A and B are shown apart, each in its own frame.
Chain A
Amino acid sequence: MERRDFLKISALGGATAALEGCGNPDHQLIRFVPEEDLVPGLATWKPSICTLCPAGCGLIVRVMQGEAEVVRHGQLGLLKMGLAKKLEGNPAHPINQGKLCPRGQGGLQVTYHPDRIKNPLQRTGPRGSGQFQEITWDEALKQLVSQLSPLQANKSGQLAFVTSPLHGLRKNIVGNFTASFKNAQVVEFALFDGGVIRAANSASFGVNAPPTVNLSQSNYVISFGADFLGTWNSPVAQSIGYGQMRQGRPGQRGKFVQVEPRISQTGATADEWIPAQPGTEGIFALSLAHVILREKLRPATAAGHAGSLIEGWSQGLPDYAPEKIETQIGVPAATIARIAREVAGHEPAVALIGDAATAQTNGLFNALAVNALNALLGSVGKPGGIQFGPAWTPQVAKSASSESEKSVAHSVQKLAEQIHSAPDAVKVLLVYNANPVFATPATWQVREAFEKVPFIASFGSFVDETSALADLILPDSSPLESWLDDAPISGSAKTVASLAPPAMNPLHNTRSMPDVLLDVAHQLGGDPAKALPWKTYDEALKAAFAALYKEQGTRSAKDADEFWTKAQDQGGWWSAEEKGIVPSGGKAGGAPAKSAAPEFDGAPGEFSFHFLPFASQLFYDGSLAHLPWMQEAPDPLSTVMWGTWVEINTQTAAKLGIQQGDLLEVASQHGKLQAPALVTPGIAPDVVAMPVGQGHENFTRYASSRGANPISILASMTVGNTSSLAWAATRVKVSPVGRGTMVLFGGSMSEAPPELRHR
């Protein structure tokens, strides 16, 4: 016996063992023949695209050989295959330049989620019960075709396609497919859709797009509610620029002022936090403009068309003198005047607006006011200010999508109204990548409307509140298993056409949504088949990239094939130079925007708090609540994990006798919910705030029945002159109802509920 073994034996107190073979095989599962021969232990990095938010960051995926437990031919076994192991930002990509946010990192779990739908499903139980049985793709497609073919003949538009806002070629495919049915409608739905900012930019600058904000050259940033480092617009691109602005230029550090009633993750990094009253952001911006004009720091004409949209601009905005509006917005006149002088004195300066400031009933006015301020400061179309990148529009076949745009119902709210008023309005509903049943106020009655639709097919990868209503689920392959393309509309002043082949083979019996649509179109024949002449999605993409090559790629490759191959290698194609669109000035005519006071649902006496839902840094709009990494990561500000909370001001809480962790009932005129209190000084005394994302009834084992959904109790208010939900325009009352449970990363484990404690 070796000395070493002897010591080990002594350590065990005399017990020992020399355990020779029991022939115990590592696994009892059979192994399937590998589909690809990879060198074990060697990693390759493949390009991909992040699809978890609209920013469209470029990814690189670390792929290595591994063994996956999969089902093939109805049998469970092990398969050696290339597996995605880690996601990082693509260093060559102009949007995120090698960086990636925590949500993007978590994208890996979409592919390996244990509750992914692995086969096509047919509903067996009542709608919403989540009872399905697995069927084959042949059966599933046959069912869909049999439902769609009667609609081909009639022209009453009984097909509706509800999808998340699409970019790139998927938009064409869905548009062409839907447009081949007469009067059918595509309804793009997202809670944070940016529609108000697009409408404002269209009016002010003639560009129907969110701005590209390159802060790296800015010297002064004033942001009205925009969480531009966390969730707003293109957060990774903006964070890179912000880092440059603050620390990348020796001896020169740009100042940053955040105007919002609750400190967001972005607001927490600001030099100055100004909690203006909700909905007064536009008035604040015009007050700054007033001071700048009054003190002749800029001429009124500098604002051009954007200024002319504001009533009283040429007279120097007399109604917005700081002294007149200080009580309305809750900010001292002296502060307003000081900020105005600072903004005007630090060129290039930029004003941003987003999130809650545009989700008030007067959100459009607020955005127009900030646009006018930017124009006055001379920061439109310039680095350090706001720019508009020329977005790539894939050109393939005749774009029937322009036709479909005409018939867009514009909002899920209108679609629901249509169905409620005429039960025959929609006979077949297709749903892709959107969960309107979860992310709309209960008063819109989207669930009730969808329940009336005779046939719903979902392309969901998970059973969520919307796909639980579906009669048929055609599971989409995960983004890492699919051909991807994207045309980001903001984040870079370059033209960007992202492209990525699948990083790995599908784990389960899933198919990519565009491939399914192409297949269905061929089976239907007629107009759909004509509108979608390709057999597979990559064939369509190749055609789109051939068109792009003809348009602008001649210097980067010798022919279209090389262009296509190179684009796959580097994750897409982007223009060499930054060619921002020169703002042309919007449509002339139309009455100038009058100052509009925000309207709120609920009388201030009874409902004494403004209710402010906010985009979660981890769950975004709730679509990522099913990823355990996102659930277990502490929120950056509150450090809450695995739950939701209501933020309430320290002094207000003391007045109401509320302590940290008390369970609060938050009630609007339209519903109520319960969540534990998080007492914080970083919120105005008459505001309570809640993160969006939790409170799913039905969204995998990790998100179901966890926390509360603030969207459900919102009033059905829309932003004036748009169809966007005014999600910050509800007032609520708050009352303590007992003791709640809230797990803080910063707290002790003894506060954690027993099921979360380590054994």
Chain B
Amino acid sequence: MSTSEHPSTGTDRGGRLIDARLHLLDRQILDCDGVPVATVDDIELSGIESDGGGTSSAPRIEAILTGSTLMTRIFGGRLPRSRLHRITWDDVAEIGITLRLRVRSESLDATWPERWVRDQIISRIPGGRHAPD
């Protein structure tokens, strides 16, 4: 499904304003072919220190993080950093109602669970590799 068929949400060459909770968090991340990768679970910011000072230049977004944050989003607390998969911001191609990347999902750490289920379970069931007819 190509996003160019759907109304544009604004060009990326202007000073567009977005709010993190409204427009970034929980949005779908798609790879360059439109295959779903994961959802935006958190965002890594640079330029803010947690104990004072350091606000000379505006902080920027360094990366998107994704992981199993369901429990922590409801009940609170924080997942250890090692459990969050990082997608660097340079890989982002487009922000609309979904986030589109410039790379393929295969090359990302974040898609490991999908690849595991595919390789260990689904491809072992007869007919798994064929398109339905």
- Please determine whether chains A and B interact with each other in the same assembly: no
- A interface residues (Cβ-Cβ under 8 A, vs B): none
Query: Which B positions have Cβ atoms within 8 angstroms of A?
Result: none
